[in-house]
Amino acid sequence: MDPILGDAAYWQNLAAEQEAGTRDDYIAYFYARAVQNKQRGEAEGWPVFDEVAYVRVLVPGDRNNVVDRKADEADRERWANTLTTLLNRAYGDGPDRFPVKVGPLAKDYSHQRFPDDPVTLVRGDSLPGFEGALCRAPSHRRGWGIVYNKAVGSQGRINFTLAHEFGHYLLHRRDHPDGIKCSPQDMVRWDSEYRQTEQQANMFAATLLMPLDDFRCQIGPRAKPTLDDIGGCADRYDVSLTAATLRWLEYTKRRSVLVLSRDGFILWSRSSSHALKTGAFFRTANVPPVAIPEISLPMKPDCSSGKATAAHDADVWLPEPCEEVSLISDRYDFAISLLHLDDVPHRDEIAEEPEEDAYDCMTNRTLGSSWLK
Ligand SMILES: [Zn+2]
């Protein structure tokens, strides 16, 4: 049976189950399409292609009715929100709600939803140079394995990796029948300019492990968290400090910038939306390597492990003063600096509408219909 299109009985079952309201969420799959970027091509003098995420939606009961369109943010978070709804129903506010136990969840859910193609194995293995992998089972067995690098010493990193690979299983396995291997950098690049499949797996993992409605209750949108505050969330969700910081940056109203560097140069950086809107960001794409300041924390020999903070004058990191918090304890092979800037009044803040979080957005929609827009 074609795993995407299915046979007649498969579609009849789907239609019956969707009508009964018991299934709605697995009839879409993601793939990458190369789309020519004429503007950049003209600027650079040769054809340039962007990798754009598409979603193909197959309507149950009508195999000729196929919607094929660009994927949007809501699509990408849909799987994680479906699982979040299930976990909220199962655990409520009880002590077992967090952290999400990804291994058992991946096995149980995939066996229930995809009995012909489930996750059958979750374990640590030797994966030099990689953080994790989604592997197809050997030919005489069915299903998929989620493997993490057992040499990684941080439990939080491992848990995030499991969720990231589970995301690849749900979103990408049909497009990558031989599986996917993921580097440490793949886990921490959450920006859309990075590879689409990795960014989608990270968004899935972040949404599953750290629902925004819960995170906002731990650290308010206007609070200026200490390293211990973010560390408390990293413990609650069983993720690395880096992952918890990236998630916090997605909703905070503060002006803060995260910078990852190696050997004195910025690898990449991510600003909160308020920092970005007010010009506090580092441009690292398509420019020569950007050096970090001589007096920044990663450049200090005694800061090679543990946590530290420093207050910097204007024109050290940015044209304005900042407070640097160094997050070196995740044991990545790059240094991580969080820069807190002062709030500045910004005209957008006055007219700003309260933001709906992704979870609210999803539950407000009619299940099943949002794929087909
Ligand atoms: Zn990956």
289: CA distance to ligand 1 center in Å?
25
- So what's the pLDDT on residue 201? 94
184: CA distance to ligand 1 center in Å?
9
Whether the Cβ atoms of residue 342 and residue 364 lie closer than 8 Å to each other: no
201: CA distance to ligand 1 center in Å?
6
Give percent above pLDDT 70 in the chain.
75
165: CA distance to ligand 1 center in Å?
6
For residues 97 and 349, the model is more confident at 97
176: CA distance to ligand 1 center in Å?
11
181: CA distance to ligand 1 center in Å?
6
Whether the Cβ atoms of residue 52 and residue 31 lie closer than 8 Å to each other: no
Model confidence over 285-332: pLDDT tens digits? Answer: 788 999 999 999 988 876 555 568 899 999 999 999 999 988 766 667
For residues 360 and 75, the model is more confident at 75
Mean pLDDT of 47-69: 68
94: CA distance to ligand 1 center in Å?
31
134: CA distance to ligand 1 center in Å?
8
CA 118 to CA 298: how far, in whole Å?
43
Mean pLDDT of 83-100: 89
Neighbours of 188 (CB within 10 A): 27
Tokens (6 digits) for 135: 């592997």
For residues 160 and 69, the model is more confident at 160
User: DSSP letter string over 38-84?
Assistant: HHHHHHHTS--EEEEEEEEEE-TT-TT-EEEEE--HHHHHHHHHHHH
196: CA distance to ligand 1 center in Å?
10
18: CA distance to ligand 1 center in Å?
31
171: CA distance to ligand 1 center in Å?
11
- So what's the pLDDT on residue 307? 66
243: CA distance to ligand 1 center in Å?
14
105: CA distance to ligand 1 center in Å?
18
Whether the Cβ atoms of residue 244 and residue 229 lie closer than 8 Å to each other: no
What is the helix (H) or strand (E) element at residue 341, kind and residue range? none
- So what's the pLDDT on residue 28? 57
Q: How far is CA 317 from CA 2, 107, 225, 242, in A?
A: 54, 45, 20, 20
124: CA distance to ligand 1 center in Å?
16
What is the rounded end-to-end Cα distance, in angstroms, of the chain? 28
User: DSSP letter string over 2-18?
Assistant: -TTT--HHHHHHHHHHH
222: CA distance to ligand 1 center in Å?
32
190: CA distance to ligand 1 center in Å?
11
Q: Which residues are CB-neighbours of 267 under 8 A, at least 6 positions away?
A: 185, 260, 261, 284, 334
Neighbours of 311 (CB within 10 A): 10
182: CA distance to ligand 1 center in Å?
4
- So what's the pLDDT on residue 92? 87
Tokens (6 digits) for 154: 């941080």
Q: Which residues pair with 56 in a beta bridge?
A: 29, 68
CA 332 to CA 156: how far, in whole Å?
12
Q: Which residues pair with 133 in a beta bridge?
A: 147, 181
Tokens (6 digits) for 192: 């859309």
371: CA distance to ligand 1 center in Å?
24
What single DSSP character describes residue 313?
Answer: -
308: CA distance to ligand 1 center in Å?
30
Sketch out the chain's domains with CATH numbers: 1-71 (no CATH), 72-209 (no CATH), 248-351 (3.30.450)
Characterize 125-138 residue by residue with b for buried, 16 or more Cβ atoms within 10 angstroms of its Cβ, and e for exposed.
eebeebbbbbbbbe
Q: Which of 1-5, 59-63, 143-147, 236-240 has the lowest mean pLDDT?
A: 1-5
187: CA distance to ligand 1 center in Å?
7
133: CA distance to ligand 1 center in Å?
7
pLDDT surpassing 80 at residue 347 = no
Q: Which of 30-44, 122-136, 183-197, 329-343 has the lowest mean pLDDT?
A: 30-44
CA 326 to CA 297: how far, in whole Å?
6
344: CA distance to ligand 1 center in Å?
37
212: CA distance to ligand 1 center in Å?
22
- So what's the pLDDT on residue 74? 67
- So what's the pLDDT on residue 239? 95
State the helix-helix crossing angle for 241-251 and 227-237, rounded to 10 degrees: 110
